Amino acid sequence: MALEETWHWRVDVSADRSVLTLAGEIDMSGADGFEHLLREMIGQARAVEVDMERLSFIDSTVLGALVAAHHEAVDRGVDLTVVNAANQVRRVLDMTGIMQLLDGAAPGPPVAF
């Protein structure tokens, strides 16, 4: 039985950071893939930004994936942040306290040198 694909992603890599742009709904059927993707990005960049503007649904398994990725990022000294979360996604991140782990207190402008 083919599983319906409910979410999409795009990765933009630049010199100083990688941006993961998500769209759709992620639940337990996508949480493992999402975590794998995040871990891969964390292994290859100094900063990873997850843009959730077009993401309309996450559940507790996705929250778990985000927390696991956060620990991986901390261990590797990588800056992992979530931006543009809205509606249900934002509410769930806020009420569980996870947004605070990932809001990158001072995101800062693009680095220039």
When the beta carbons of 19 and 52 are compared against other proteins, the nearer one is 52
Considering only residues 22 to 81 of the shown chain, the ones binding other proteins according to CB under 8 A are 25, 27-29, 57, 59-61, 63-64, 67-68, 70-71
Count CB atoms within 10 A of the CB of residue 75: 9
Least separation in angstroms between CB 63 and other proteins:
6
Q: Are 46 and 14 in contact (CB under 8 A)?
A: no
When the beta carbons of 16 and 94 are compared against other proteins, the nearer one is 94
**By the criterion CB under 8 A, which residues form the site for other proteins?**
1, 3-4, 6, 25, 27-29, 57, 59-61, 63-64, 67-68, 70-71, 87-88, 91-92, 95-98, 100-101
